[in-house]
Structure formats: C-alpha cells, structure tokens
Structure 1
C-alpha cells in the first residue's frame, strides 16, 4: 500500500525518529510540510499526518493541510509524540479527517523528549523517549493498519 506521511518534527526530532522506523521496509514516503504543498496525493492509498504536540495540539500547518488535501477514498491516520501522553492530542485533526469521505484507520502516539518552557529548567521530561518499546509499537501500528 503506497503511503505518504506529512510531518513536522521538533528540534529533538522525536516524531521523525518514529516515522523513520515506520517507513523502514515499508512503501512510505515521508514528506516535510513544505514538500507536501507540491505533492500529488492521488498516487497514494494512505495518508498520515504527523506532528509533535504544540500547546496541546498538532502543528497548525499540519491541521490546515488535513483540511485542504483531498482524502476521498484513502486510508488516513495520525502520528504524534508528546512529553506526557495522557489525552488524545489528535482529537482536532481527527475530527477534520473524519469530516471527509475517507477511512480513518486510527492513530499512533508515544512519549517524546520535551524541554519546552518549564521543562527546560528541570532538564526535560521523557528523556529516553521514543525508545525501542515505542519503535516496536510504531512498527506494529503500520503492520496492522497498512497491509
């Protein structure tokens, strides 16, 4: 299944690390948000939207693209990393996705090293994330949903 994942990753690269694991040995193109604006998505069977979490939400540019790209007939999913993974931070973008004529197949999330704001003063949180356990779960998500 030909898949594209459009992403924004923080300066720590947490989200990109997870996406690299997902793309390895799979037919997945990873597209930075700037590349996505000039991409023909009609050639893809599935589209993922990935982001670190910014103020409890996906990156604004990723959310905007989710409403602009024609997702008709495609499998669509979300991926995110965050310092503390206690709520569904993808709720807003998932609502946008579900409003289109596509098949929302779920989302993957895991913790990622976070030094934003106050967390910088204490040395950050989720220092060793994403880790091998997170990567294994990321591979399982792709295997179970994009075959």
Structure 2
C-alpha cells in the first residue's frame, strides 16, 4: 500500500486547502499545512503532493523552497496541484524544471480555478466565485486515485 502525503500552502480563501482535503479524503492521504504544521519526515512516503494557490503567477514560495531541500528516496514520486483565479498559462513550469534538475519523477499535475480577490479582482468582487466547484474537487480526488493506482488506497 502506497503512503501518500499532501503538503499544501493555502492563504487567502482556502481554495487550495479544500482541494488538498478533497484529494486526501478520496485517497486516504495524509495532509500537512506548510504554513502552520512542522514538516514531517518525508522518507516514509511513496507519493508526495505539493499543492498551492497561485501568487503573482507562481506557486507559493514554500513549494520550491521545500523542493530544493528534498532528497527523494528511490521510487518516491511527487505530484503538483494548484488553484488559480485564471489559468492562462502553465504555472507549474518553473517547479517542473526544478524537479527535473533534481532528478525527481513528477507523477502529474492537477489544476483548477479558485476564488480570487487579489489586486484589481478585489475591486470587482473577485473572479471564479464558488470555485473550486464540487466537480473540480471530485476530479482532484480522482486524479490522485489514478496516480496511486486503480483500487489502491494511500
């Protein structure tokens, strides 16, 4: 049975926290809030998720910081997940490059919209209200189950 941990950074509206919780519930994964919880020993996990909102067009700075420190054991994989107000580009690209440089296998990436009131969006009441939707959260859980393997639980 694969042990899975989702590390997440969610600051404004809890979009990413809700996504991480939905994924964890669907797959029986453990959660760690990177902004409030001490970082667990990652060596006992087969699959490590890194989830974030998008801030100034990038994943939360805690994610690449953690990846720079990560020394994966053989067979250990990482996946990315994020929420964003508007998805007009692949925000994960810099982190994927960091993973490649470290020789870490990226198992996949899941992205969905999230309620956003940052900057000028706040003046108009925000964008993507009500997101991530129940359907997006469900798909996030299915994404993780697919990474773990059909019928397997984390």
TM over 0.5: yes
Equivalent residue runs for 1:47-86 within 5 Å:
47-73=48-74, 74-86=76-88
Runs of at least 5 residues in structure 1 that lack an aligned partner in the other structure: none
SS state at 2:65 partner: helix
Give the Cα–Cα distance (whole angstroms) in 1 for the partners of residues 28 and 6 of structure 2. Answer: 11
CA-based RMSD of the aligned residues comes to 1.3
Give the Cα–Cα distance (whole angstroms) in 2 for the partners of residues 76 and 36 of structure 1. Answer: 19
SS state at 1:105 partner: strand
Runs of at least 5 residues in structure 2 that lack an aligned partner in the other structure: 150-154
Equivalent residue runs for 1:86-101 within 5 Å:
86-101=88-103
Equivalent residue runs for 1:105-124 within 5 Å:
105-124=107-126
Matching of residue 28 in structure 1 with residue 29 in structure 2: yes
Q: Is the 8 A contact 2:3 2:29 kept in 1?
A: yes
Q: Is the 8 A contact 2:43 2:73 kept in 1?
A: no
More RCO (CA 8 Å, sep 6+): 2
Equivalent residue runs for 1:129-144 within 5 Å:
129-144=131-146
Q: Is the 8 A contact 2:6 2:24 kept in 1?
A: no
Give the Cα–Cα distance (whole angstroms) in 1 for the partners of residues 147 and 59 of structure 2. Answer: 21
Alignment length (residue pairs): 146
SS state at 2:58 partner: coil
